[in-house]
């Protein structure tokens, strides 16, 4: 008999998970809480919010869910995996202690420092005046991070003292990120090129996905404020086989050993945000779940069944994992609402997804959509992830942009340079 899987979340990453998991011959039923209109094509959406832990537990218990896969970081940081484990249910995702690797920048940096994982030098502050004095004596540019979860927006790379103090005031004084701003990490600004490296782990072994690269800023050329991610591609040419070897040996091996030494057996997904300079990787951040939008192109490239690996992570015993990866590159272009990451309109009718998906190799993942009077409308800042796979990187990029050009709503916006860094490195495959 097939297994039942519950996916927690309702964004583009969760649509990609539902799309991939529903293809598994091991699975007979997929639920998503709360899901979205795109996910509804692959799973039964249940009206339970991703942060409503008691209702998620009650649903999983009542349906005897065989495996819960948690998409977003907030439920993990709040202890959802611990709650479900107490009921004897399998969860792919760390407990609350392990989730602190993303839930607290301070905890993450202190673990990296203690166990010799390469990262930027840093200081921690819980007093605004002390932080302000330190910033004014720090070399520019300077990186300031809110300690807690801030939906990818709690980081500033300040080029001027004015910019640094304005962000510091937003975080610690005006509290725009709430309790996430109780403490800040102030660190040196690393140079190089960013990449994302995501692995499945049972706390001991790791099984890596291919490299990828996110595009955090809202504007072309990495201009403007940070967002949750405006596009991604895989593979990232900056992650050479030599760099990949170093990442596994210098980052993941000491990190997992360090977590075990702290009494934390991390089971689930670990995502390292890296800065690579001269072939040397240093950690910018850790996330405790699949990247969004990195999951979208990665899952297009993942030919093997993802479900056995998810079960093995949850059971704490990766044994026979085989990753069959399509060698072709994949690209995701995020279409957002005009004004994002600031204020934006909701409820705008969306047209053209069907036409876009007629483009060979294209899948359109829903990130922030809703139904209104039977029509598909915008419901969030990041609305769609137009994702494509192609024989070459220029081919995959061209397909994604041709498809995005067929989709319309009032105020739709997307970056036009996704993948350009890879092309500059000669990444034509």
Determine, yes or no, domain membership for 321.
Answer: no
Is the pLDDT reported for residue 161 higher than 90? yes
Query: What pLDDT does residue 194 have?
Result: 94
Q: Are residues 244 and 303 in the same domain?
A: yes
**CA dist., res. 99 & res. 80, Å (int):** 10
Residue-wise pLDDT tens digits, 341-392: 999 999 999 999 999 999 999 999 999 999 999 999 999 999 999 999 999 9
When divided into structural domains, the chain yields a total of 4
Please choose, from the candidates 358, 366, 210, the residue with its C-alpha nearest in 3D space to the C-alpha of residue 297. 210
**Does residue 428 carry a pLDDT above 60?**
no
Predicted confidence at residue 426, as pLDDT, reads 72
Taking 60 as the threshold, does the pLDDT of residue 234 lie above it? yes
322 pLDDT band (50/70/90 cuts)?
Answer: confident
Q: Is the domain of 171 the same as that of 198? A: no
297 in the same domain as 226: yes
Domain residue limits at 157: 127-182
Same domain, 310 and 344: no
Are residues 146 and 59 part of one domain? Answer: no
- So what's the pLDDT on residue 294? 98
Residues 75 and 151 in one domain: no
In this structure, the answer to whether residues 64 and 43 fall within a common structural domain is yes
The set of residues, in sequence order, having a beta carbon less than 8 Å from that of 414 and lying 6+ positions away, is 230, 231, 333, 334, 335, 336, 386, 404
What the block records as the tokens of 406 is 């067929």
| 242 and 203 both lie in a single domain | yes
Q: How confident is the model at residue 429 (pLDDT cuts 50, 70, 90)?
A: low
In a domain, 285, yes or no: yes
Query: Which CATH number covers residue 404?
Result: 3.90.600.10
CA distances, 317 to each of 95, 201, 265, 266 (Å): 16, 9, 12, 12
Domain boundary among 283, 315, 347: 315
Asked which of 87-96, 132-141, 409-418 is least confident by mean pLDDT, the reply is 132-141
Produce one character per residue of 182-220: b if its CB has 16 or more CB atoms within 10 Å, e if not: ebbbbbeebebbbbbbbbbbbbebbebbbbbbbbbbbee
Round to whole Å and give the CA distance between 92 and 75.
12
Stronger pLDDT, 173 or 57, i.e. the higher one: 57
Residue 415 sits in the same domain as residue 360: yes
Determine, yes or no, domain membership for 374. yes
Work out the average pLDDT over 113-130. 96
**36 vs 421, higher pLDDT:** 36
What pLDDT band is residue 245 in, cutting at 50, 70 and 90? Answer: very high
> Hey, CA dihedral for 67, 93, 78, 289, is it positive or negative?
negative
To the question of pTM greater than 0.85 for the whole model, the response is yes
Torsion of CA 380, 227, 33, 362, to 10 degrees: 80
Contacts of residue 380, Cβ cutoff 8 Å, sequence gap at least 6: 11, 337, 346, 367, 368, 369
Same domain, 239 and 210: yes
What would the mean pLDDT of 26-33 be, rounded to a whole number?
A: 98
Question: In degrees rounded to 5, what are phi and psi of residue 188?
Answer: -65, 150
Mean pLDDT value of segment 173-183: 92
Cα distance between residue 285 and residue 275, in whole Å: 10
Which pLDDT belongs to residue 152?
A: 72
Residues contacting residue 150 through CB under 8 Å, at least 6 positions apart: 177, 180
- CATH classification of the domain holding 23: 3.40.50.20
Backbone angles phi, psi at 330, to 5 degrees: -135, 150
The residue with tokens 């969860």 is: 91
Q: What is the pLDDT of residue 427?
A: 60
Could you tell me if residue 122 is inside a domain? no
Lowest mean pLDDT among 180-189, 205-214, 317-326: 317-326
384 and 308 fall within a common domain = no
In-domain check, residue 104: no
Residue 361 lies in a domain: yes
**Phi, psi for 223 (deg, rounded to 5):** -105, 155
Mean pLDDT across the chain, nearest whole number? Answer: 95
Q: Residue 321's pLDDT is what?
A: 72
Report if residue 239 sits inside a domain.
yes
Task: Render pLDDT for 50-78 as a digit per residue (tens, 0 to 9).
Answer: 999 999 999 999 999 999 999 999 999 99
What CATH number is given to the structural domain containing 273? 3.30.470.20
Statement to judge: residues 177 and 200 lie in one domain: no
């Amino acid at each position: 008999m097939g297994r039942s899987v519950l996916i927690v979340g309702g964004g583009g990453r969760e649509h990609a998970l539902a799309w991939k998991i529903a293809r598994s011959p091991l699975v007979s039923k997929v639920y998503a809480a709360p899901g979205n209109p795109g996910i509804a094509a692959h799973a039964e959406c249940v009206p339970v919010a991703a942060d409503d832990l008691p209702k998620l537990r009650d649903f999983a218990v009542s349906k005897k869910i065989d495996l819960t896969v948690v998409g977003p970081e907030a439920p993990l940081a709040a202890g959802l995996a611990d709650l479900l484990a107490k009921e004897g249910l399998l969860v792919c995702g760390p407990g609350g202690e392990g989730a602190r690797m993303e839930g607290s920048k301070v905890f993450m940096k202190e673990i990296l420092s203690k166990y010799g994982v390469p990262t930027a030098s840093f200081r921690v502050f819980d007093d605004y005046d002390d932080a302000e004095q330190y910033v004014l004596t720090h070399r520019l540019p300077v990186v300031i991070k809110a300690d807690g979860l801030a939906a990818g927006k709690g980081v500033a790379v300040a080029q001027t003292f004015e910019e640094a103090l304005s962000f510091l005031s937003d975080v610690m004084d005006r509290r725009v990120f709430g309790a996430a701003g109780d403490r800040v990490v102030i660190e040196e600004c690393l140079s190089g090129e960013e990449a994302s490296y995501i692995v499945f782990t049972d706390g001991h072994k790791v099984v890596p996905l291919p490299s990828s690269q996110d595009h955090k800023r809202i504007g072309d050329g990495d201009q403007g404020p940070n967002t949750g991610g405006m596009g991604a591609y895989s593979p990232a040419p900056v992650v050479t086989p030599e760099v990949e070897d170093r990442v596994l040996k210098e980052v993941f091996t000491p990190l997992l050993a360090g977590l075990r030494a702290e009494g934390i057996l991390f089971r689930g997904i670990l995502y390292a945000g890296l800065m690579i300079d001269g072939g040397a990787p240093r950690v910018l951040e850790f996330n405790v779940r699949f990247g969004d939008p990195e999951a979208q192109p990665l899952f297009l490239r993942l030919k093997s069944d993802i479900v056995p690996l998810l079960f093995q992570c949850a059971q704490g015993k990766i044994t026979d994992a085989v990753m069959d990866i399509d060698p072709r590159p994949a690209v995701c272009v995020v279409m957002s609402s005009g004004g994002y990451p600031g204020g934006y309109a909701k409820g705008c009718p969306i047209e053209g997804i069907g036409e876009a998906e007629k483009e060979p190799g294209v899948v359109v993942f829903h990130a922030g959509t809703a139904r209104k009077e039977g029509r598909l409308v915008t419901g969030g800042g990041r609305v769609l992830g137009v994702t494509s796979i192609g024989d070459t990187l220029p081919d995959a990029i061209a397909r994604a942009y041709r498809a995005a050009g067929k989709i319309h709503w009032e105020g739709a916006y997307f970056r036009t340079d996704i993948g350009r860094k890879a092309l500059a490195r000669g990444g034509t495959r």
